[in-house]
Amino acid sequence: MHATLFLATMLAQLPPQPAYTPPETIEFHNVDIYSEGTRMHGETFIAKANAGQKRACILMAHGWGGTTAAMRRDAAAFAMAGYYVIAFDYRGWASSDARVVLIKPAPASKGTFTAEVKEVRGVVDPIDMGTDWLNAIHWAAAEPQCDMQRFGLWGSSFSGGLVVYAAARDSRVKALHSQVGSFDGRVGWDASLMRAEATRYSRGSIDYPEPYKKVVGNLIGAPMLARFPQYFPVEEVNLAPHTAMQFVVAANEELFDNKDHGLRAYESFKGTKRLITIPGIKHYGIYNEAHDQAFRLALEWFNLYLK
What are the pLDDT digits (tens) for 149-158?
A: 999 999 999 9
Dist CA 230 CA 127 (whole Å): 7
Residue 17 is predicted with a pLDDT of 66
CA distance 153 to 179: 11
Tell me what the pLDDT averaged over the chain comes to.
Answer: 92
pTM: 0.92
**Does the structure show a pLDDT above 60 at 8?**
no
Q: How large a percentage of the chain has pLDDT more than 70?
A: 94
Question: Residue 7 above 70 pLDDT?
Answer: no
The CATH number of domain 3-306, selected from 3.90.320.10, 3.40.50.1820, 3.20.20.70, 3.40.50.20 = 3.40.50.1820
What is the tens place of the pLDDT at every residue in 250-284?
A: 999 999 999 999 999 999 999 999 999 999 999 99
The answer on pLDDT for 242 being more than 60 is yes
Q: What integer pLDDT is reported at residue 113 of this predicted model? A: 79
Distance CA 293, CA 287 (A): 10
User: Residue 83 pLDDT more than 90?
Assistant: yes
Residue 190 has a pLDDT of 92
Q: Tell whether the model's pLDDT for residue 248 goes beyond 70.
A: yes
pLDDT of 57 above 60: yes
Tens digit of pLDDT for each residue in 218-228? 999 999 999 99
The pLDDT assigned to 111 comes to 74
Confidence of residue 11 (pLDDT cuts 50, 70, 90): very low
